[in-house]
Amino acid sequence: MIKDKLLEFGNLYEEMRKEALRIVEEIKPRVQDITDAQIIQSLREKKKIFIGNMIYQQLKD
């Protein structure tokens, strides 16, 4: 039971990570400021799962 939950969590984490990286790749061409581009690259390299939403919100406003 715990093993199944851990496997499920691992799969969910991987899906979230891939989606965050996909979002970054999608919005990266629209970045106007070099500072934002550097932030995106840094977070992308660290593979933070929250990057997609964070960068998207910053660019949307």
Q: Which residue has the higher pLDDT, 57 or 24?
A: 24
Measure the CA–CA gap between 39 and 46, rounded to whole angstroms: 11
What pLDDT does residue 4 have? Answer: 83
pTM: 0.47
Q: Report the phi/psi class of residue 11: left, alpha or beta, with left for phi > 0 and alpha for psi in -120 to 50.
A: alpha
